[in-house]
């Protein structure tokens, strides 16, 4: 399992720990991200985790995989997936800041600002 997806789920579980009816929602979000990751791996076997999207500029493949993930569920899932990727990038940003890696920190910030907030509309 991808560490970023697991961290994403841990954060969501922590927020809804007193609301067990939300656990299904968290599992659904994990499945969406995992399905997205699997579809992105098809043309790029080198993609192992969500962190790989930030390391290399493969934005076209990210958009293609997101559209393919959402082809049956429509635009609504596409937007939800964008929000989930934004949260995952925020988690990665915290991890990179804690690791004190300035190069990866800049890559994560560029990914957040340029891709998620500008291109995912």
Per-residue pLDDT tens digits for 36-87? 888 777 666 677 777 777 666 667 777 777 777 777 666 778 888 888 888 8
Numbers of helices and strands, H then E, in the chain: 6, 0
Q: How many CA atoms lie within 13 A of 105 on its CB side?
A: 9
Per-domain residue ranges for the chain?
3-119
CA angle 103, 61, 113 (to 5 degrees): 40
The helix-helix angle for 102-110 and 75-99 (nearest 10°) equals 160
**pTM value?**
0.76
Q: Which two tokens stand for residue 121?
A: 């509309």
Per-residue pLDDT tens digits for 76-88? 788 888 888 888 8
């Amino acid at each position: 399992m991808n560490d970023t997806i697991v961290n994403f789920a841990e954060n969501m579980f922590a927020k809804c720990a007193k609301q067990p009816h939300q656990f299904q929602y968290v599992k659904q979000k994990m499945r969406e991200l995992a399905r997205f990751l699997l579809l992105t791996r098809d043309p790029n076997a080198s993609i192992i985790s969500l962190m790989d999207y930030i390391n290399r500029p493969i934005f076209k493949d990210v958009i293609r995989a997101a559209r393919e993930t959402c082809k049956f569920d429509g635009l609504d899932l596409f937007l939800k997936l964008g929000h989930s990727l934004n949260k995952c990038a925020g988690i990665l940003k915290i991890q990179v800041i804690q690791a004190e890696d300035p190069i990866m920190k800049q890559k994560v910030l560029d990914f957040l600002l340029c891709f998620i907030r500008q291109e995912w509309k």
